[in-house]
Amino acid sequence: MTPTQFFPTLNGVMHAERVPLPQLAAQFGTPLYVYSKAALVAAWENYQGGLVNRNALVCYAMKTNSNLAILRLFGELGSGFDIVSGGELLRVIAAGCDPKKAVFSGVGKSAEEIRLALTHDVLCFNVESESELLRISEVATAMNKSARVSLRVNPNVDAKTHPYISTGLKENKFGVEYESALDLYKRAASLPHIEVAGIDCHIGSQLTEIRPYLDALDKVLDLVDALAKHGIKLHHLDLGGGLGIRYDKEEPPAAADLLAQLFARIESRGYGALKVLFEPGRSLVGNAGVLLTKVEYLKHNADKNFAIVDAAMNDLMRPALYDAWHGIDAVRPRSGVPTTYDIVGPVCESGDWLGKNRALKLEQGDLLAVLSAGSYAMAMSSNYNTRTRAAEVMVDGDAVYLVRERERVQDLFALERVPQNLAG
Ligand SMILES: *Cc1c(COP(=O)(O)O)cnc(C)c1O
């Protein structure tokens, strides 16, 4: 899926499906996140294409975009969820989706979160350390419930992605060290109220090659072999998420191709009957969204031109955080000679930029669309500089749904309290 596949330019105006983006800007204001439902469904179907007649479950990694409407859509399509906090579990429930299809990942699950997850009977805990395993056993014992667990093993393979989104190397905080996984499984099998259900790995994000997946899979299956020898039989294999998307010129494999190769390897090693879980995030939503923003000012310095727009690093943090590149297109492209601009926001940080050295022909008041803004975008937004978070809309053909209202400034300080006589 390309960044503009579901955001076509028709008669010189960029649309979301069949709705002109200027109409959405006029109706809801900017900055505005705009999602295409058809793009979400298409991304979902790309996975399903690789899962025909397979015993598999896609668990949408909802941290990438946890808007309730998006959860509901994926839930209705049959998705499970990969959650990383108690808050995310409550979102699954609030969206009317099934918590029994949720797997609980993350290195720091609190006792309270574990209790919540057991109350709602989540499918599995992806356990990341021995101390966490012991805590889950304690909480489950106190509740007289059985907790299904997988160990998230760290296969020590290089996902060949940005260091901040690489998770499967020894130096990363994630997962159980490969060498100690077997012992920890034996321990798990002996603990009260723990049911060993599966094995899990997730090696990183924005992966554009199949090779690291296969390397990790082989190491995971070596462990499955070893576990079988010790009489520990698993119910499922969880291969995590991480499939990349096209931001610029990347050419990630199609989901169906990746799945075909993974299943071929699983079968060749004799585990064709094992259920397989996947936890994709970015590849289900990344190119289903754009961030719509307005040019407030153009500023021409001696050797730099700036387009100062009304979206900022608090709305879209990826450029500041990862040096990430997003396509930025004019909503109504102008003819004429373009100027090279840095596209920056109003926040008081030099790191507040959305794109650098972009050739655009612009005038004050123009609308820009920051592309590939469906994942790790709104979900990572903040209120820095007391900026209200953007509204979100979902477009379906020519129908438009407001799926999150723009925040109001007074709500941002509503929880703050000023003690009396502070200076007295
Ligand atoms: C973030 C995350 C994912 C999703 O990663 P994507 O790159 O967005 O597909 C899956 N599993 C776990 C455990 C994660 O932390």
**Alpha carbon of residue 109 to chain centroid:** 19
For the stretch 56-95, pLDDT in tens is 999 999 999 999 999 999 999 999 999 999 999 999 999 9
The overall average pLDDT reported for the chain is: 96
Question: Ligand 1 center to residue 343 CA distance, Å?
Answer: 29
The answer to whether position 84 is within a domain reads no
Question: Ligand 1 center to residue 224 CA distance, Å?
Answer: 22
Both 268 and 290 in one domain: the answer is no
Both 240 and 271 in one domain: the answer is yes
Pairing of strands 32-36, 289-300: antiparallel
Both 190 and 264 in one domain: the answer is yes
Q: State the pLDDT confidence band at 267, using cuts at 50, 70 and 90.
A: very high
Task: Kindly list the distances between the CA atom of residue 5 and the CA atoms of 14, 184, 268, in Å, as whole numbers in the listed order.
Answer: 11, 46, 37
Ligand 1: does its nearest atom lie under 6 Å from the Cβ of 280?
yes
Ligand 1: does its nearest atom lie under 6 Å from the Cβ of 205?
yes
Both 403 and 293 in one domain: the answer is yes
Domain that includes residue 137, residue range:
105-280
pLDDT at 404 over 70: yes
For the stretch 178-211, pLDDT in tens is 999 999 999 999 999 999 999 999 999 999 999 9
Question: Ligand 1 center to residue 282 CA distance, Å?
Answer: 8
> 230, 155, 217: which is closest to 188 by C-alpha?
230
Question: Ligand 1 center to residue 420 CA distance, Å?
Answer: 46
The answer to whether position 68 is within a domain reads no
Both 183 and 263 in one domain: the answer is yes
Ligand 1: does its nearest atom lie under 6 Å from the Cβ of 64?
yes
Q: State the pLDDT confidence band at 162, using cuts at 50, 70 and 90.
A: low
For the stretch 127-149, pLDDT in tens is 999 999 999 999 999 999 999 99
Please state the pTM of the whole predicted model. Answer: 0.96
Candidate of 46, 59, 63, 127 to mutate for ligand 1, largest count of ligand atoms within 8 Å of Cβ: 63
The question of whether 348 is a catalytic residue gets the answer yes
For the stretch 251-264, pLDDT in tens is 999 999 999 999 99
Question: Ligand 1 center to residue 61 CA distance, Å?
Answer: 6
Among protein residues, the one whose CA lies closest to atom 1 of ligand 1 = 61
The answer to whether position 45 is within a domain reads no
**Averaged pLDDT for residues 304-327:** 97
> 62, 121, 59, 120: which is closest to 91 by C-alpha?
62
Ligand 1: does its nearest atom lie under 6 Å from the Cβ of 166?
no
**Alpha carbon of residue 137 to chain centroid:** 29
Integer distance in angstroms from the first to the last C-alpha of the chain? Answer: 62
Ligand 1: does its nearest atom lie under 6 Å from the Cβ of 207?
no
> 12, 15, 56: which is closest to 39 by C-alpha?
15
Ligand 1 atom nearest to CA at 152? 13
Both 267 and 313 in one domain: the answer is no
What local confidence, expressed as pLDDT, does residue 174 receive?
Answer: 80
CATH number of the CATH domain containing 227: 3.20.20.10
What local confidence, expressed as pLDDT, does residue 118 receive?
Answer: 98
Ligand 1: does its nearest atom lie under 6 Å from the Cβ of 282?
yes
The answer to whether position 396 is within a domain reads yes
Per the structure, how many domains does the chain have?
2
